[in-house]
Amino acid sequence: MPTLQGHTRTAFLCFFISHIPITLLIDSQAVFPRDWYPNFLRSMVEWYSTTFKDELMMHPPTWFKSLVVIELLFQVPFFLVAVYYIIARGTRREDDDDDDDDDDDVNVSIARYDGAFRSSCTMYGSSTVTTMIPILSSILFARDDTTVVERGRLMCLYLPYIFFPSWLLVIAMREERMVGTTDTRRKRR
């Protein structure tokens, strides 16, 4: 049974759609010269970094910059494809009553795209969970003047970025068809 439906589908769409501008407008400031960005975006990053004492965004180390490059090169294209695919497959209705050869061809084609999407989700999920471990560790074990409460607040801001990829990875590993309607012919056999 496909699992990217209903509230789960909505949650992932919101996550992917919101992550695109966050990556392009906020996270990318860790890599590119900040004078490339309008003042309000630079101010937003400064306010965020100061308010939440996020040293990674305030003074990004090289290893963090490399993770942001991965995010820009691989995750943003994945987000765009995932949003399109979830919307397109989620709104498509299969004709369950028609069992002709054309319907079989359509289902084979759908299965091929489902497999590619599932593989992409597996790669995205495992890669992102892996990259989040050093980020969360650097927050948790930071040797600076931040309090436990401040670290906890910052961890809470980063947790969705490990939670959603982990969740997607579990879904991709468990389900053959992740999006769309169920194939009733399997049930009939």
> For the CA atoms of the chain, what is the radius of gyration?
20
The predicted-structure confidence for 144-173, as pLDDT tens digits, reads as follows: 788 888 999 999 999 999 999 999 999 888
**Overall pTM > 0.85:** no
Q: How high is the pLDDT of residue 180?
A: 55
DSSP state of 52: T
Q: How high is the pLDDT of residue 177?
A: 59
Q: How high is the pLDDT of residue 185?
A: 43
Distance between CA 33 and CA 10 in Å, rounded? Answer: 35
Average pLDDT of 79-102? 66
95 or 74: which leads in pLDDT: 74
Q: How high is the pLDDT of residue 43?
A: 96
Q: Name the nearest CA neighbour of 19 among 115, 167, 158.
A: 158
Average pLDDT of 80-98? 69
187 pLDDT higher than 50: no
Average pLDDT of 124-135? 94
36 or 105: which leads in pLDDT: 36
Q: How high is the pLDDT of residue 176?
A: 64
Distance between CA 20 and CA 9 in Å, rounded? Answer: 17
Distance between CA 17 and CA 11 in Å, rounded? Answer: 10
Q: Phi-psi category of 168—alpha, beta or left, where left has phi over 0 and alpha has psi -120 to 50?
A: alpha
Q: How high is the pLDDT of residue 119?
A: 87
DSSP state of 36: G
Q: How high is the pLDDT of residue 184?
A: 42
Share of the chain above pLDDT 70, in %: 78
Average pLDDT of 17-44? 95
